[in-house]
Amino acid sequence: LRRCRKLQTRLPLAQVSDSLAGAGEKFGLPVNMANFVFVALSLVLGVSSISALDNGLVRTPPMGWLAWERFRCDIDCANDPHNCIDENLFLTMGKHLHEDGFQALGYNRVNIDDCWPLHNRDVSGRLVADPKRFPHGIKWLADQMHNMSLKLGIYGDYGTKTCGGYPGMMGYAVKDSDSFAAWGIDSLKLDGCYADVHSMDEGYPEIGRALNNTGREFVYSCSWPDYQRLAGLDVDYKNIAKHCNLWRNFDDIQDSWASVTSIIDFYGDPKNYLDFGVINGPGQWNDPDMLLVGDFSLSYEQSKAQFAFWCLFSAPLFMSNDLTKISQEAVEILQNKDLIAVNQDPLGRMGRRLSKTGSLEIWAKDLANGAVAVLLWNRSTGGMHIEMTVDFKEIGLKSAEVVLVHDLYAKAHTETSQGYYKTEVNPSGGVVALRITAVSW
């Protein structure tokens, strides 16, 4: 124990983990067993994991593009070159962000997901990008992004392997963090496959500290709470918010309207709002997963609804689509400046559901200047639009004499002193997005 205490005084705990992993490999100890020893050692030493991340980054929700939902783990570049995970894919998407008006609106991050490295580390234990698919290496790709004033994110896994079966970070926190920093990476998305969920409360913060210790700024995205939720554990969101810039807390999004509505319903649950909605804010964001707008499944009305809800949630806006084939309708939704302003509002509040009557729902989000963003959502499938009413008293404007209502999709403005606003909302997921501001009291 005395030797362990001396080791801890000389090295960051994540580096102790790497040392244990190396010793485990030398003596035939599995990496996951070495990690168990590491966590047990942490508890014996009384090491605290409450130091906050507090890196000053992403004070408003990050925006950009992420590969996974649209391109998955397609590594067959010979037969499917347009869709495979290679440097050309990310460079192409970065160029479209840069040239097609997205970057000017805040979409400034390109994120690599799973399946980018070789299946085996090199002789020194370092991750290696697949040289056939990334012939210039990750540092070159990061440099290309930086030359366009974009940022590059990368994917890792807390466990022994990634979800796609590639090397995980367990036992390699310092080594991998140093690699990411040397390559010029700007953010890490850390998944949680092939890992003991009970060790995540200690392990995820340790990897965050390893990133910080490189001296480079990293946005840190964690999947920690979702894996604990799936395991039936109580999730300490306040602790997670101390250590992560953003975090996934529900299922992966799929290319379907049913998947989108399941996420919205999860975020609309009052208990969940009290658990994680109230801690949403600058530098710490709930992440409902990627935007499907421009993909295959959603109708025009449903695409408008997903984007409006993600803006109301103050969620990260990471598109996962093919920007070389996206429709103009989808571009107009994703580049809606008024809704992006709602998403990027400096208060960073997460919108909440105010009412649900059958298939009709009203949601609201307080904004920094005293205005309120409101969504009127029609989930009915009857084929007819339905008139919905928002009462200004219900959204906190009960004393207002004159109110200005701005329809954020229709670009229409209405000034009223009636105390309410009525409008028609289309069926099958249609939404009306409003910004409501008191003009006089």
Q: Annotated catalytic sites, by residue?
A: 191, 252
* Residue reference for tokens 């003596």: 27
Strand partners for 220: 188
Of 13, 19, 15, nearest to 49 by C-alpha is 13
Q: Find out whether 430 and 391 touch, Cβ atoms under 8 Å.
A: no
Where in 131-268 does DSSP place strands (E)? 151-157, 187-191, 219-222, 246-248
Cα dihedral value 236, 255, 79, 168, nearest 10: 0
Instruction: Name residues whose C-beta falls within 8 Å of residue 35's C-beta, 6 or more positions apart in sequence.
Output: 17, 20, 21, 160, 170, 171, 196, 199, 203
Q: Find out whether 211 and 220 touch, Cβ atoms under 8 Å.
A: yes
- What is the number of other CB atoms lying within 10 angstroms of the CB of residue 417? 10
* 3-state SS track over 32-95: HHHHHHHHHHHHHHCCCCCCCCCCCCCCCCCEEEECHHHHCCCCCCCCCCCCCCCHHHHHHHHH
Q: Find out whether 84 and 74 touch, Cβ atoms under 8 Å.
A: yes
Of 183, 199, 206, nearest to 116 by C-alpha is 183
| Cα 51 from Cα 190, distance rounded (Å) | 19
Q: Find out whether 428 and 301 touch, Cβ atoms under 8 Å.
A: yes
Could you tell me the two tokens for 426?
């289309």
Instruction: Name residues whose C-beta falls within 8 Å of residue 175's C-beta, 6 or more positions apart in sequence.
Output: 18, 125, 126
Of 326, 317, 337, 334, nearest to 435 by C-alpha is 337
Could you tell me the two tokens for 323?
């920007």
